[in-house]
Amino acid sequence: MIRVQDLSVSFRSPVLDGVNLHAPPASILALVGPGASGKSVLLKSVAGLLRPDRGDVFVDGVSLADKDEPGLAEVRKGIGMLFQNYALFDYLTVGENVAFPLRRLFDLPEEEIQARVSERLERVSLPGFEDRIPRSLSGGQKKRVGIARATVARAPILLYDDPTAGLDPVTSQKIYDLIKGEQREQRGCVVMISSDVAGVLTIADRVAMLHRGKLVFEGSADEAKTSVDPLVRQFIHGLVEGPL
């Protein structure tokens, strides 16, 4: 579903250095690693929001490297994304925020848009929130609105940038359960950054770990838990074995 090939990105200094990664269909790939290891840059590259210095990203076999902006926009119709800081528009209502990708990417009747928005808000346990404004919501509610917006277009690929950041453990697990339930129902491909390693491992099928811009581990969740690699052991289990 997603293949990253020899991807390198720099902003004054290297952020990603020759990353190769595969996210298979009908699975959840957890992207973990220390801060500033390149996780968000990798996710934005997969979404076609950043141009790499070298390498390529393939989405359903389609190369992004030679796509112009209209071509990338066409690819993005099959990708839903939740940004870490919610990225909700304060000047729009909750309903308008959720409807935004439908209105921007598709030509749909207003009745269908409203029906999809209501269905998504019901799905994330926020029925009747269409007329609320984002600043009136709690952090957990904003995350759920973001998930509703990311999934409203029924895209087969979903990218989540730390969907439980700043949330309490109970709310975090509800978000994880929601993401897993959506993935099982849609049989989609999910790539999810998370700083909550223990939580994300409860739903991940595969794990990829970045360290200083390089991919240092890729395998199943069980393989990540039992890895003898010092970097992986230290990060996955919180062991103090030396500096990251």
**Which two structure tokens, joined as six digits, stand for 194?**
């998370």
Q: How many CB atoms lie within 10 A of CB 173?
A: 16
Per-residue pLDDT for 193 more than 90? yes
Digit-coded pLDDT (tens) for 86-102: 789 999 999 999 999 99
Per-residue pLDDT for 241 more than 70? no
Residue 171 has a pLDDT of 86
DSSP label at residue 202: T
**Residue given tokens 């929130």 in the structure block:** 129
Residue 50 has a pLDDT of 93
Residue 244 has a pLDDT of 53
Which residues lie below 8 Å from residue 51, measured CB to CB, with a gap of 6+?
A: none
Work out the mean pLDDT of the chain and round it to a whole number.
Answer: 92
Q: What is the mean pLDDT of residues 43-69?
A: 93
Q: What is the mean pLDDT of residues 161-171?
A: 88
Per-residue pLDDT for 243 more than 70? no
SS3 at position 155: coil
58 by Cβ neighbours in 10 Å (0-12 / 13-18 / 19+) ranks as: middle
Write down all domains in the chain, each with its CATH number in brackets: 1-78+158-244 (3.40.50.300), 91-154 (no CATH)
208: amino acid identity, one letter: A
Digit-coded pLDDT (tens) for 209-237: 999 999 999 999 999 999 999 889 888 88
SS3 at position 93: coil
Residue 167 has a pLDDT of 86
Per-residue pLDDT for 188 more than 80? yes
Rounded (10°) angle between helices 139-151 and 94-105? 20
Question: Whole-structure pTM over 0.85, yes or no?
Answer: yes
Digit-coded pLDDT (tens) for 112-152: 999 999 999 999 999 999 999 999 999 889 999 999 999 99
